[in-house]
Each structure stands twice: as structure tokens, then as C-alpha cells.
Amino acid sequence: MRISVGKLGLFWTFFEPFFQAFIFVSVHSFVLKASSYNYPLFMASGIIAFFMFRNILYGAKGAFLANRGLFSYRQVKPIDTIIARVLLESFLTGIVILTFLLYGYYFYYEVEAKNLLMVSLGYLWLILFASGFGLLVAVGNTFFASIGKFVTLLSFGLLVFSAVFYPVASLTPEIQKIILYNPLTHFMEMIHGYYVEGLDDRYVDYGYMAIWTLSLWFAGLWLYLRLEKRIISQ
Amino acid sequence: MIELKNVTKYFHTHEGRKYILKEVSLTLPDLNIGIMGRNGSGKSTLMRMLGKIEFPNRGKIISPNSFSWPLALSGGFVGTMTGKANIKFVCRLYGKSKTETKEILAFVEDFTELNEYFYMPIKTYSAGMKARLGFGLSLAFDFDYLLIDETLSVGDVNFRNKAYNALKKKIENCHVLLVSHHMKMLREICQAGILVNEGELYYYEKIDDAIAHYQSVNKEWGRR
């Protein structure tokens, strides 16, 4: 498990998003002028969501290989390991969010969401999206190790091209068009738009998000069911 | 009783398909059966198929009995979790209650004599220690068939004797399918024998006949 890796595993779980958000906020305040919306809050909600996406993806990616020993017991199906890891990462994200909120309240910082219900929906949907993607990657990674390597590179690019630390509205129309092909951008816009006062979800295409989520799950499950036996006996 | 119906199992290799079993139909009675064969002949694959973690390419294996997980030299544990945590996990897997789990933990800790290693991650274990833990754990559960794949041959002498005696006691209430290269152990534990060789499965009601066949196969390979 992630937490048990070294004595500082738990520390990094909390500190990593905090540190990243801090860097982006400081760069922003040095380089750019003050924005019309609450930028630290914008950063934190985006970075935490992105890290959750990335951690679910990474967790799922290695789930089959790391738990191969457990496939000796016929009760354990490979998909169980993915479910366990998705639950673990979601739970950890929940704790990280709570820590951020408590920290904000303690310093009388304005941390309340504009529409908490929609933000929660955004996070839950992102979990669903990430786990579908993760399942697909996990099955692929079992047979082609280069898929895992590619996903590591991909997630690095996604951090930059998913509107995590800038709103889509701040981009030129040409770039907006390109970046909105990226489904993760929509998730980030949705979470930002409903969290931060002064932003909205005008660029979010919910149908596009649903198609991506369904396609990933469909492809992932289809491949998984076809290859389950081979994954067990690998 | 274990029934094999037209079971075919092969692996893809560089030189095409390598058959482990080729259209094998056979009914095995409820006996302690020793399984022999050269390295790579498919003994472990057969065990894994009986444990339902490997699947025949064609055909079926049918049995009304319950089987343990295949106790092999690799697998069965998560490396980053401690021995104790792994045991707890398996207890939960088999639906044991809290008190039962406590008893099993105490039994395994005592039986395996791993001492402080019991509370350390599995990745710090040696092969022998892993085999101890796996074997100790399997003793704590009740199955119709125990599937043991060479794990008894890696421990040190002390433990081997202890495991051997424990196994003898255990098979008063259950059967065992034992993969081993120790002919003496096979003779003492098993009544019947199976030889896996080049896609064929030879069943003998007397273990001595199986051993004799195995030795003649070995001689033949030695001459080649």
C-alpha cells in the first residue's frame, strides 16, 4: 500500500498537494497580477482533484502486478485489487480535502464552495472516470509494459494541458478549442466553476464527459472480461 | 473425486505450442496422490488448474470437493504486508470470525517459529520462511484436498520433520495432492501416483508403479 511505503508515506500524502499548490500560488502571485477570483482556492481544488486522478491511475496501473501473489486464492479476482486501490485513493483524497478545509477555517480563510453539491458530483464523477481509465491501463499494462510508461508520461502532460492551474476562460479561443478535446479539462472546469466565486461551467460539456467515462469503462471491462483468466495465471 | 474431461492445456513458446496435457480424460479417486514429472513437465500447472487459478484451454475439470490454494514456492502473499497481516487477510477471505482468526494467528505464529519475522514484511523473508508460513497457514484450514507443490522440500531439517509429522496428522481428515521429488516422502504419504510427461498423464493406483515409470522416463532422458 502507498501509505506503508516508508515512514514518511503518510506525510507525503498530505504534503505533496499542499506543496504543489503552494508553488503554483506563489509563482502566480509573483508573475501575474491579482486575479478576479480566489486563486489559492482555485489552485487547491484543482491540484487535489488532479492528484486524485493521477493517484487512482497509477494505483490501478500496478494493481495486478503488485497483487499477483494474492491470485493464488481463487476468491481474489484481479478487478478486486483495482476496486481496493480506487477506494483507498478516494478515501485518502477525502482526508486531504478535510485537512485543507480545517486549515482554511483555522486561519479564517474563505474556503466555502459556491455549490458544494456540484463540486462533490465533480469529484465523484472524476473517480469514476479515473477508475475506468485505470482499469483499461491495468489490463494493457499486464501484457505490454510500455503502456505503463506511456501513462506516466501522459499524466505529466495532462497536468499542464488540463486547465488545472488556469481557467479555460483565460486562454485564446484557438487554444480553448484544442484543450477542450481533453476530457480532463472538462472535469477541472466543472470543479473550479462550482467551487470558486466568479467562475462558471460555461465551457463544460457534460455529454462529452459522459461519453468518455462510458467508453473507457466499456473498453476496460470488455478487455478485462476477455483477459481475466490470462491475468490470473500470468 | 476429481474428473478430468478432455482436458487440453498448452503454452505458447517460440517453437509453437507446448502441450502440458493433450485431450486427457481421467477420474481420480479420493486418495493421497503423489505427482511426479521432470522440471517443466506441467506438474505445477496441473496443481494450479486444480486450484482454479489456471484454466485449461479446452475441456473441464470437475470435482465436488473443496481444494486448498496451491501451496507453491511463489505467490500467496503480498510482499509489502507483514506475515501477520497476510494471514489475517486469508482468514477474512475464508470468512473466519474474529475469535477464529485470533486462534489461527496464534497457531501459525507458534507453528512456523518465525519469531520477529512474523511481524515483518514478506519481502524480507527467505524462500524457506515463506514456505513455512504458507504451510502453517494451510494447516489451519479444512479442505477436502490439500495442494502442495514442493513447498515441503525447502525448509531446514528441523522444520521439515515438523511439517512432515503435521502433514501426516492432517491427512487423517483430508487428502493431499503432493508434488515432490523426494521419493521417500511420496512413498510414505501417498497411495496413488501420477506421472506428467510430454502431454500425457499416467495414473497408477500404486505409488511404487508411478515411481518406477518416472525413473524409467528419467533414465531415457539421461540417455538422450
pLDDT tens, residue by residue, B129-145: 998 999 999 999 999 99
ipTM value greater than 0.95: no
Q: How far apart are the first and last CA of chain A?
A: 22
pLDDT at B75 over 90: no
pLDDT (0 to 100) of residue A32:
64
Which segment, B78-82, B99-103, B148-152, B166-170, is predicted with the most confidence on average?
A: B99-103
The residue-averaged pLDDT of B174-187 equals 89
Q: Is A227 part of the contact surface with chain B (CB cutoff 8 Å)?
A: no
Closest Cβ opposite residue A73 in set B72, B79, B90:
B90
Q: If 0-12 CB within 10 Å is exposed, 13-18 middle and 19+ buried, where does residue B158 land?
A: exposed
Asked if A60 contacts A135 with a C-beta cutoff of 8 angstroms, the reply is: yes
| pTM (two decimals) | 0.85
- What CATH number has the domain spanning B1-68+143-224? 3.40.50.300
Which ranges of chain A have pLDDT less than 50?
A: 1
pLDDT (0 to 100) of residue A79:
95
Helix (H, G, I), strand (E, B), or coil: what is residue B32? Answer: coil
Q: B21-73 pLDDT, tens per residue?
A: 999 999 999 999 999 988 888 888 998 898 888 899 999 999 999 999 998 88
Subunit contact B55:A233, Cβ cutoff 8 A: yes
Q: Best of A2, A5, A73 to disrupt the B interface by mutation (most B CBs within 10 Å)?
A: A73
pLDDT (0 to 100) of residue A34:
61
How far apart are the C-alpha atoms of A234 and A228, rounded to whole Å?
A: 10
Q: Picking from A184-188, B56-60, B76-80, B87-91, which range would have the lowest pLDDT averaged per residue? A: B76-80
